[in-house]
Amino acid sequence: MRNQEKAKTPFLRFSLHVSRRNDVPWWIALVVKASFIVGALLLCGIISGIFAEGRSDGFIMFYKYLIEGTFYSPNTAIATIWNASILLIIAVAITPAFKMKFWNIGAEGQVLMGCLGAAIIMKFVAPNVPNIIALFLMLFMALLFSIIWAAIPALFKAYFNTNETLFTLMMNYIAIGIVAAFSLKYKATGDTALGILNAQTHAGWMPELFGYKYLIGIFVIINLVVALWFYLKYSKHGYEIAVLNGSVRTAEYVGINVKLVTIRTMILCGAACGAAAFLLTSGASHTVSETVVGGRGFTAVMISWLGHFNPLQMVLYSLLNAIITTGSSNAAANLGYSGEVASVLSGLFFLLILVSEFFIDFKIKFKLKFRHKEDNNQPPAEAKPELEGGK
Amino acid sequence: MGVIFESIRFATVFLFGSAGETVTEKSGHLNLGTPGVMCIGAMGSAIGASIYLSMCGGVGGTNAFLSFLFPFLFCILFAGLAGLLFSFITVTLHCNQNVTGLALTTFGVGLYPFVTSFLEANPVMKAGFSSISHKYLTHVFPEQFYNMNDFTRLFFSYGVLVYLAIAIAIAIAIIMKKTKVGLFLRTVGENPSAADAAGISVNRYRYLATMIGSAISGLGGMFYLFDWCSGAFEFVVDAYGWLAVSLVIFTMWKTEIGIAGSLLFSFLYIFPGYLNFSGPDKKLFELVPYAATILILVITSIFKLGKAPAGLGQSYFREDR
């Protein structure tokens, strides 16, 4: 008996105790996050160093091309900030839903439907009316389409408790299909897709500011983000969402109409997605196709969750993601490996940030124990019964 | 006739994907990384095939059995590792499943073309992949046998993965319903706290189910690369990965229905091509599987047929009770 137990005890014992903690000082959280972000950026460089074709400076050059592709000239810098701000507005748009634990992973579809709404006006109405009216109509249609797309899953969730994660996920692909069909239906004969709309007249195009294309969009997005943040933080609606986040029962007991809040919040999400769609269509793409949102809806889900409802963190992640994807595409083109690396690195980046959450939310205790030498020649069990069952 | 034959063949992508995802979801893990996992599986099989090709020095010396085995094993290995990564982050590190899954999809969908881009420059690999796919992978029975009549063509003219997918789907259905392991797995997915109280190791079940499920899903990627595309690695499987996720819901978490469901989905995908549908009509037709999935989702929730594992998507931490 004794021998058997001894045989089971390994020489080196290692135990790990994990417990949740809520009292992390902000500077520890900051250091953990920062070191993971630096680690992720280093990893990108290492991957580049391994795969750079026929050169040994792939590691260093990656960072050079990363910066060159993103902040080299005012134009690239504004384009990078624009990419980041579109991500940011979508991420902030779905945050109210996440805050009430409504898993809206349908931002891709909601934005895409808004783009479709705006593009319909752009195609059929904008050439015949003054630009300011065209822009207003586009905004209206984008909001309408996005709100409808967001409200459908919310209605079913509120009344039948239909699983919203799967519902919104499927709605993405229906939106993609509808947009693809639209783009093929109204393309010019001979083209493969709906090209740039009103390329000559610029009807329905967002005007340029100081000669830069995206500036107005960026400015509007910053204001929207601040407004949404105030809504969440200081309005009665925001408070109701926060109560729902804590517990649905509590919300019911204090007299919050859960159904109403669910639907209202998703309409708000849809409206914000619609605003993003309007800016995207009128300010950047000037067309609609199934790739016009390009997975930003999914990336925004990750950003929103990782940002913990904190707009500053979301700004940081969207900016970093925009830098990594744009910059690594540029590095890939110059260092001779596939541009798909952008998606790989972006995925790795988010996985690492996710892992960093663990080290902030949980306390980890390592225990390393050596088996003592005297264990080997201990007296028989009868002599020392108090040791039984101990180790 | 051709449309039925093609539908049965293409159904394998959905069947592997959804069978694997069903196993994963039964343990309470909603792995939205399935498209990424399928890409990683395809990548694994491509790596396995290229290792085998360089071992036997090109197309000449390949052996039919080994040229199936190498891609197969590497596919399972890499897809299983992707599942391990997912479970490590969600189980051990208690991170959110949806976010982990989406990140895994972003990662995997990029990784596959990134890795295969290195094969592109090598003409030996291109020829080799095609040669490998024409052994067991596209037709397992000899041609004089399956070409006898329409009946044999319909049932015996497929690659080995098609039969494997059906076998796996049936095996999963039996394991889920009839065995203790299946019961425990369902318990873990329905109510992890109760399972834990009953002495079932929630973490072990979730790890294993996710890894095995991912390995099965990954085979869908391998099928797509080596059977459907005959080794042409320019095509990426990710769009069908999302259909596989929706098929899991559509079949209400039952792999035996999944066999019929995958046939239906693949029929809906293949059929427009035979009707000479083109452009917008084809795109609208491709929506039908998603719309049907939503319909099932709505109907099951209205009539409270709730078949989704109750603990789906929720991570389990003993201290949180």
- A300 closest CA partner among A328, A277, A334: A277
CA distances B295 to B125, B149, B251, B264, B300, Å, are 44, 39, 12, 15, 8
Comparing B162 with A332, which gets the higher pLDDT?
B162
The rounded distance, in Å, linking the Cα atoms of A76 and A147 is 33
Instruction: Give A18 to chain B, closest Cα distance, Å.
Output: 9
**Which amino acid appears at position A323 of this protein?**
I
CA distances B2 to B101, B139, B151, B235, B263, Å, are 37, 16, 13, 22, 14
pLDDT digits (tens, 9 = 90+) for A263-309: 988 998 999 999 999 988 888 788 888 888 878 888 898 898 888 87
Q: Is B291 in Cβ contact with A343 (below 8 Å)?
A: no
The string over B183-212, giving b where at least 16 C-beta atoms fall within 10 Å of a residue's C-beta and e elsewhere, is: ebbbbbbbbbeebbeeebebbebbbbbbbb
On whether residue A359 sits in a domain, the answer given is: yes
Chain position carrying tokens 């991420």: A91
Percent of chain B residues topping a pLDDT of 70: 93
Structural fold of domain B2-314 = ABC transporter involved in vitamin B12 uptake, BtuC (1.10.3470)
The rounded distance, in Å, linking the Cα atoms of A328 and A158 is 43
The two tokens of residue B111 are 């990784």
The answer on pLDDT for B216 being more than 90 is yes
Domain that holds residue A255: 12-370
Give chain B positions within 8 Å (CB) of A169: 32, 242, 245-246
pLDDT for residue A157: 87
pLDDT for residue B124: 74
Q: What is the ipTM of this complex?
A: 0.84
Grouping H, G, I as helix, E, B as strand and the rest as coil, residue A120 is: helix
Instruction: Give A183 to chain B, closest Cα distance, Å.
Output: 8
pLDDT digits (tens, 9 = 90+) for A30-47: 888 888 888 888 888 888
The answer on pLDDT for A6 being more than 60 is no
On whether residue A3 sits in a domain, the answer given is: no
Mean pLDDT value across chain A: 80
The rounded distance, in Å, linking the Cα atoms of A292 and A176 is 10
Q: Nearest CB to B104: which of A160, A173, A347?
A: A347
Q: Is B98 in Cβ contact with A357 (below 8 Å)?
A: no
pLDDT digits (tens, 9 = 90+) for A362-374: 877 777 777 665 5
Give chain A positions within 8 Å (CB) of B287: 173-174, 177-178
The lowest-confidence range among B50-59, B75-84, B293-302 is: B50-59
pTM for the model stands at: 0.86
- B130 closest CA partner among B62, B76, B77: B62
CA–CA–CA angle A330, A332, A334 (5° rounding): 75
Per-residue pLDDT, averaged over B153-161, amounts to 79
Comparing A71 with B204, which gets the higher pLDDT?
B204
CA B264 to chain centre: 16
The two tokens of residue B72 are 């197969």
The rounded distance, in Å, linking the Cα atoms of A146 and A112 is 8
Comparing B234 with A85, which gets the higher pLDDT?
A85
On whether residue A387 sits in a domain, the answer given is: no
Is B291 near chain A, with CB under 8 Å? Answer: yes
pLDDT digits (tens, 9 = 90+) for A223-264: 888 888 888 788 888 788 778 777 778 888 887 888 888 898
On whether residue A241 sits in a domain, the answer given is: yes
The rounded distance, in Å, linking the Cα atoms of B283 and A116 is 15
Percent of chain A residues topping a pLDDT of 70: 88
Q: Is A347 in Cβ contact with B36 (below 8 Å)?
A: yes
> How many residues belong to chain A?
391
pLDDT for residue A47: 82
Comparing A360 with B20, which gets the higher pLDDT?
B20
The answer on pLDDT for B130 being more than 60 is yes
The lowest-confidence range among B187-191, B282-286, B316-320 is: B316-320
Q: Which of A274-283, B129-138, B211-220 has the highest mean pLDDT?
A: B211-220
On whether residue A390 sits in a domain, the answer given is: no
Q: Is B294 in Cβ contact with A171 (below 8 Å)?
A: yes
Give chain B positions within 8 Å (CB) of A342: 110
The rounded distance, in Å, linking the Cα atoms of B87 and B81 is 10
Q: How many domains does chain A have?
A: 1
pLDDT for residue A148: 93
pLDDT for residue B267: 87
CATH code for the domain in which residue A20 is found = 1.10.3470
Comparing A374 with A124, which gets the higher pLDDT?
A124
Instruction: For residue B298, give the chain A residue with the closest CA.
Output: A162
Per-residue pLDDT, averaged over B34-45, amounts to 91
pLDDT digits (tens, 9 = 90+) for A165-205: 888 988 998 998 898 888 888 777 767 777 777 667 776 67
pLDDT for residue B171: 92
Instruction: Spell out the domain ranges in chain B.
Output: 2-314
HEC string of A271-300?
A: HHHHHHHHHHHHHHHCCCCCCCCCCHHHHH
The rounded distance, in Å, linking the Cα atoms of A79 and B39 is 30
Instruction: Give B147 to chain A, closest Cα distance, Å.
Output: 38
On whether residue A342 sits in a domain, the answer given is: yes
